[in-house]
Structure formats: C-alpha cells, structure tokens
Amino acid sequence: MIDEELVQLLTPEGERVAHPEYESTLSGDEIFGLYRDMAIIRRLCNESTSLQRQGQLALWAPIQGQEACQIGPGRALDPMDFTFPTYREHGIAWCRGVEPKEMLRIFRAVSNGGWDPYKYRHSVPAIVLGNQTLNAVGYAMGIQRDGAEEAAMTFFGDGASSQGDVLESFVWAASFNAPVVFLCQNNQWGISTPMSVQSKIPLYHRAHGFGFPGIRVDGNDVLAMYEVTKRALDNARVGGGPTLIEAYTYRLGAHTTSDDPTRYRVDAEVEVWRHRDPIERVKSLLVHEYKMKQSKFDEVAEEAEKLALQLREDVLAMDRPDPITMFDDVYAEFHPLIEEGRQEMVDLGVTGGAH
C-alpha cells in the first residue's frame, strides 16, 4: 500500500523517524559510504561549476541539494540494471561507475555522450526532456522478453513530467507491467517554471491514474531514498511492474550555469531548503549515533579535493576532436539526412580538428 505522505526515515536534524512500511537496513559503514558519495559528488559538481566559469566547459548543470535523490537510488541499483538519465544525474553516473572526466565531456562539447553506455549500463544523458523514459520502458520490455531478473530505471524532473513522452511511457509501462522504476526528482522548479503549474495534484498521484503505484519520498533523505528505490526495483525484477517514485527535493543552485535563479525565486525559499541539506543530516546521524570522528569526514573532504583536482587536470588535457566527427555516432548505420548535414558542414569548412 502506498502511504499518503512522504516517506522519511531521517529528519533534517539527522534524527531517525519510524515509518510504518519502511525501515533503514543499512549499517553505519554503509551509511558512511552514502555520505562519502554525496560529499564527493558535491565537490566535483562545484569544481565543474568553477571550470565553466573559467571558460573550460560550455555549460554545467549543478546537482546541489539533490545528492540524496541520486546517491540513494544509485546505491540501491544492481550492476545488471540499466539506467536512463537526463542531464543532472551526476550522482547516478558516479554510482554506476562513470568516471568524472567522462561526465564532463559532453559539457565541454567534445563528445555527444561521454561514455560507453553498455560498459556502465547507464545510457548517455537525454537532453530532450522525457525521451529517456520511453527508452527505459522499451528496454524494460526487452528485459521481460529475455526473461531476465533485471530492472530499468529512469530519471526525470517535475518539468519533464508534463512531457507527452513521460506520460506515454507510463501507459506502456503499465500496460505491459514492465520492470521499470520511474524516479521523478521534483526539485520544485523546471528552470523558472514553478511546480505549481506542472501539476494540480502531487506528482506521485499520477501513477495511480495509469494503474501502478506511486510514492513520495523525502528526496533529501538518503536512507529513505535508498530503501524505497530498493523495494521498487526488487518488485520490478520479480514481475511486480512499474513504480513511480517522486523524490520531493529542491535544486539549491542554478538550473545551469546559464541561469540566474534570483530572477524568479526568493532567497527565503532557498534558505528553507538549505536547512534540509541532504548531506548535513547524514553527517549528524553518523556523529551522534555512530560516534563518527571528525577525522573520518576530513578524510572524505581530502579525497574529494584530490578527485576535484584530478578532474580539473583531466578536463584541461582533453583532446578537441575534429568537429565534423559529431555526425559519426548519431546513428549506427548510414543515414541520408545526417550525411546531408555532414556534407553541408564540410562545405562550410567545419573540419580540421583542434583550433
């Protein structure tokens, strides 16, 4: 049964709360692992923003505030599951094993994707909103036909929830009972469009209308995110069908480095959510319940620092491919329209590699 309210296992103050249906199954070390993931991904994200401000990336989509929504599910996934992300899923990519420098290639405009989707069983980011949900359902239907005990999981935002693609994917997932988990990170904003105009009802209620369960989770509570996702994935793998998880969260930073959120939202709103920081509450739990020493947290900070510097070095050392190669991997096979576009670029003189 789906509870009407938000599933929360850890309060913003880092105190555990009981929930009738879910409880945390993680050990202190495992929780510390989640803390480490979140702290590292936040640091890498900040370095990426700096790199963009220094002219080294064309664009960056910050993750601040949404670390728990991604690290929880990221660690609940099995290596054999397949994930279908959008542009802000750096935390998922991290958990799937994608190297940070691979995450940045698309943002440095040196690749159409950035990594080998089959290597990590994590597809390249869909920038066209909602597209990835159809891919995920298609893949999930493939799993069904292969008789495999795997699940597909896909990620989208509150804004994307209004896309036809997303709703169509709900229909297909429901009709075929596909082993797919939909994770909607409701961060309250689709660029400057507030949540209030995306849906008159809580987003997770939508699933009921399509005929599968929906559940709302405190997206800033990594323990709850982990447990809810794990159960939904387990359920999907054994033929239980799709689940929509609405991670109720907030984008603390800008939509992307091209955006200025102070133009459309008030500081006070951001402040409210800062107090619900996903990383701080886990730290507080670790300190109080597990008596974790500050030195452990310092080690993570150091590790994150090293990774950030490594990332910087890797980005600065990236080759700049011949722009004409951007046409190479659009389709696996020859495509006349792509060839036409490629030829047009050649005629315009767009070739010749680094400049």
Partner 1 sequence: MSQEVFLLPDVGEGLIEAEIVTWKVAVGDTVILNQPLVDVETAKATVELPSPYAGVIVTLHGNPGDMMEVHKPLITFEVGGSGSAPAPAAVVAEEPKVSNSTEGREAVLVGYGVANEEGVATRKNRRSTSPTATATPVAAAPHSSGPVRTTPPVRLLAKQNGLDIASVPGTGRDGVITRADVERALQGGGAAVAAAPRKASVPKTGPMQPTRFVGNDLAPWATGPKEERIPAKGVLKAMAEAMVLSKSTIPHAGVWLKVDATKTMELIAGLKQQPTLEGIRISPLTVIALAVTDAARHFPGINSHWDDATKEAVIKRSMALGIAADTSKGLIVPNIKEADQLDLVGMAQELNLLVDKVRAGTTSLAEMSGTSFTITNVGPFGVDAAMAIIPPGSGAILAVGQVAKAPWVVNDEVVVRQVVELCLSFDHRLIDGALASKVLAHIGNFLTDPAAAIIAG
Show which residues are catalytic.
251, 255, 264
Is 189 among the residues that bind ligand TPP (CB under 6 A)?
yes
Q: Could you say which of 12, 22, 24, 49 contacts partner 1 (CB under 8 A)?
A: 49
Nearest Cα residue to 188 out of 128, 272, 74: 272
Stretch in the footprint of partner 1 (CB under 8 A) among 75-83, 118-126, 262-270, 287-295: 262-270
Residue the block writes with tokens 């990620």: 155
What span, in angstroms and rounded, lies between the C-alpha atoms of 17 and 11? 7
The site string for partner 1 over 56-75 (x = CB under 8 A, - otherwise) reads x-xx--x-x-----------
Decide if 254 contacts 260 (C-beta within 8 A).
yes
Whose Cβ is closer to partner 1: residue 200's or residue 291's?
200
Residue nearest to Mg ion (CB): 157
Is 244 among the residues that bind ligand TPP (CB under 6 A)?
no
Strands 243-248 and 152-157: unpaired
Stretch in the footprint of ligand TPP (CB under 6 A) among 27-35, 93-101, 154-162, 229-237: 154-162
Is 66 among the residues that bind Mg ion (CB under 5 A)?
no
What span, in angstroms and rounded, lies between the C-alpha atoms of 345 and 323? 9
Q: Could you say which of 23, 27, 28, 54 contacts partner 1 (CB under 8 A)?
A: 54
Is 36 among the residues that bind ligand TPP (CB under 6 A)?
no
Nearest Cα residue to 148 out of 239, 244, 230, 241: 239
Is 219 among the residues that bind Mg ion (CB under 5 A)?
no
Strands 189-190 and 193-194: antiparallel
CA 206 to chain centre: 21
Is 59 among the residues that bind ligand TPP (CB under 6 A)?
no
Give the number of C-alpha atoms closer than 13 A to the C-alpha of residue 314, restricted to the C-beta side: 17
Whose Cβ is closer to ligand TPP: residue 179's or residue 190's?
190
